[in-house]
Amino acid sequence: MATNTTSPTHRKAIIGPPSNFWLHSTRTGFDLTHPSSPSTPSPSPNPTITLQTTTSPIKISPFKSALVIIDMQNFFLSSSFGRTRGPGHLACSNLINHAIPAARKAGIRIIWLNWGLSDSEVVNMPPAVKRAFGFEAVDENSELSTKISENAKGVDKFGDATFQGGHVLLENGKNGAIYRGLGSECGTVKFDDGTEVDAGRLLMRDTWNAALYSPLDAIYEEGKGLTTNPDVWIHKNRMSGLWGGTGACEEFLENEGIRTLLFAGVNTDQCVGGTFMDAFSKGYDCVLLSDGCGTTSPEFAQQCFEFNAAKTFGFCVGCGELERGVDGMES
């Protein structure tokens, strides 16, 4: 009986409309380089990076890609706010040691997408978003326009919230020492060397609490001074930095011709995830740097988002794999 020695047939496909398409091959995976047409490859001088994701190889163009680092700010990571070392700090280390140097080497743009509110944005913030960061309450017999303030030495009662273990617990169950509402005063924080600084109003622009976590701040300062592809800082005013109509982040991406987004930051299942899913809906190529982001939620929340990022919304890859892909960059 004759043996069939025919080689397996590899298949290819074009996915998407002429204005925004991927190429796929069962042999090489997904091509996300966005050439001008399916039959016209990207100009040969332009490098490409192949990443071995958890599901399939992908090829990206560094000049059409951005590393989007979300909310790695003092408020979320600094020990001065009582933040103990956790997944966000590990993600920070992976970004510093692997992802950021790789992006710099490849010419991938770095976007620091952070909470940074104006007074008008706080005034008009929807109640659901305000509630996520705490709120002040008053006694039921008081006028709603009256606020009960915490004095400098602490109080036994803060509106309808009770005082427990030295901290005011607000009605959403968050630590009232810092979660007193968007735009509220965070007070003075003390560093390990004994120096103090005014932390400013919660997540407002140009405050210490909304500044980048110190290990990353120096990296941003260096990056924004680059003559080619400097880092950019973009303020956001929701969990997602790409919600609603065309905002500051989307305008920048469109102006720069960026189509592929590598996501990192905190928290994976909240601000990173919200931006990731909105980017997916808006037609961007979405890649989650799984160990470049972390969350304070239970471990299953990270696992759930990684699963869906890889299986539905885009792709999932580690910071080390990005580094290896850049080291093997092809011209």
Please list the ranges in the chain whose pLDDT falls under 50: 146-169, 173
CATH architecture of 53-116+210-327: 3-Layer(aba) Sandwich (3.40)
Can you say whether residue 265 is alpha, beta or left, with left for phi > 0 and alpha for psi between -120 and 50 degrees? left
Pairing of strands 57-60, 29-31: parallel
Phi, psi dihedral angles at 70 (to 5 degrees): -110, 125
Per-residue model confidence (pLDDT) at position 176: 56
pLDDT at residue 162 in the model: 33
The pLDDT score that the predictor gives to residue 52 is: 97
What is the structure's pLDDT at 168? Answer: 42
At residue 146, the pLDDT reads 40
* Confidence (pLDDT) at 179: 76
d(CA 254, CA 104): 21
Per-residue pLDDT tens digits for 39-81: 876 655 679 999 999 999 999 999 999 999 999 999 999 988 8
Would you list the domain boundaries of the chain? 53-116+210-327, 119-202
Beta-carbon contacts of residue 14 (< 8 Å; ≥ 6 apart): 21, 22, 23, 24, 38
pLDDT of residue 95: 98
Contact indicator for 259, 59 with CB cutoff of 8 Å: no
SS3 label, residue 301:
helix
pTM: 0.88
Q: How far apart (Å, rounded) are the C-alpha atoms in residues 124 and 120?
A: 6
